[in-house]
Amino acid sequence: MAKVPNRVGVADIEHLERSTAFLRELDYREGGESCRDRASAVLAWSEQLSRARCTTTIRTRLSVALGDLANLVAWTCFDTGLTVAAQRYWDLALEYGADSPDLVANVHYRVGRMRLHAGERHSALRAFDAGLASALSSHTAAILQANCAWVHAGLGDHASAMTCLGAAMSEFSKTRGPVPGWARFFDETDLSAMTGMVHSELARTVSPSSTGRAIQALSIAVRGYGPGATRSRVFSLIALAGNHLREGDADEALRCGTAAMASRVGSGRVLDRLIPLRLLAERNRGDADARELATRLREFTTRD
């Protein structure tokens, strides 16, 4: 990498921000395996900039840029199963990003997602609530409310899930102006995906009658995600396959599950979500398509 300058200016910050944006795009498209090591190396070098001379304005922008990158490194660690390292980088992101309430809120959101992935729903809810306490923008609040809805649905609390999902939609409708890179993923398509995830959980914990709404929202998300959001599309396909199994539509479940496996995203979370789908397919052994899906998933999730 280049020599660390003695004085940091706007051009240095813009270069760091562009590097983070590029790495974030890789993560969304190809998974954390594609960029984790590169992102952590860029962060290690870029932290040296904080020891160089600069104006107060530049130093504030530098700190936010470093916090943004540390947040991304943490996310790629989480995506590849390195949860201890992820938490360490998120702690660093909170230090650097202290002057940006919405970045702090985004860090809490991502910490919550790691806890939710581990099945620690109450801990995840505390993280999301901490994010809401810091959030300034409606867009940030929408992200956090949608994830609170996901937690409540997983806990079987239909009323709270619907309240939070409604709040997410309301806050999202108020979004104005540019959205920072760390939150730009959350658009109409992602809101549809989250809606589908909430109803998927309600179908599991409260009533199978929620599968129809889940399928509708997830289908919209699958169609809406572009090539730059491969991992998010895969997650929606996995959830869609599970809902089709619950509906007794095993041929559609096979189609969605096969499409998810074909995407080849370097993400441990994808494998983690495919395993419950395999178990669900195995419980439907009376159907040939469900048996075929279970076989393909078993081969995919147990290979080296």
Give domain limits for the chain.
Answer: 185-304
pLDDT at 17: 98
* Average pLDDT, integer, range 250-262: 98
* Average pLDDT, integer, range 265-269: 96
Instruction: Give residue-wise pLDDT tens across range 106-159.
Output: 999 999 999 999 999 999 999 999 999 999 999 999 999 999 999 999 999 999
Asked whether the predicted pLDDT for residue 304 surpasses 80, the reply is no
Asked whether the predicted pLDDT for residue 287 surpasses 60, the reply is yes
Tell me what percent of the residues of the chain surpass a pLDDT of 90.
95
Asked whether the predicted pLDDT for residue 1 surpasses 70, the reply is no
* Average pLDDT, integer, range 279-283: 96
How many CB atoms within 10 Å of residue 51?
9
* Average pLDDT, integer, range 65-78: 99
* Average pLDDT, integer, range 39-46: 97
Q: In the 8-state DSSP scheme, what is residue 6?
A: S
CATH number for the region 185-304 comes to 1.25.40
Tokens of 96: 């650097």
* Average pLDDT, integer, range 232-236: 98
How far apart are the C-alpha atoms of 168 and 56, rounded to whole Å? 36
The residues, ordered by sequence, that sit 6+ positions from 121 with a Cβ below 8 Å of its Cβ are 115, 151, 154, 155
At 7, give phi and psi (nearest 5°). -130, 135
The residues, ordered by sequence, that sit 6+ positions from 264 with a Cβ below 8 Å of its Cβ are none
